[in-house]
Amino acid sequence: QVQLVESGGGLVQAGGSLRLSCAASGSIFTTYVIAWHRQVPGNQRELVASINRAGSTNYADSVKGRFTISRDNAKNTVYLKMNSLKPEDTAVYYCAAGLAGPHYWGQGLQVTVSS
């Protein structure tokens, strides 16, 4: 059974920080690219950051320098540390796993940044 279990969303003031966690089943974690996407109602889901099994990372321009994606191999968990949050970062954040694009999705977490 493929599972991506997310945690860590919530409400934060602008300028604050949050850390999202995505716990993946072992086979996914060691094989697939793990990514965070986000979606605002009425908009397309967009890639925020990704990390492959070698630890190489990729970020959307809008979050570079503020967000950091990382992985803990011992815990099969990928983290998204979000600093200097802005109201425009408000969205539902999804963890995703796949080889050539996302194939599996988590349930989504609401992140709300108040001004």
Interval 80-106: pLDDT, tens:
999 999 999 999 999 999 988 899 999
Stretch 11-33: mean pLDDT: 91
Token reading at 14: 């602008």
At 2, is the pLDDT very low, low, confident or very high (cuts 50, 70, 90)? confident
Residue 34 pLDDT = 95
At 26, is the pLDDT very low, low, confident or very high (cuts 50, 70, 90)? low
How many Cβ atoms sit within 10 Å of the Cβ of residue 78? 25
How many Cβ atoms sit within 10 Å of the Cβ of residue 103? 13
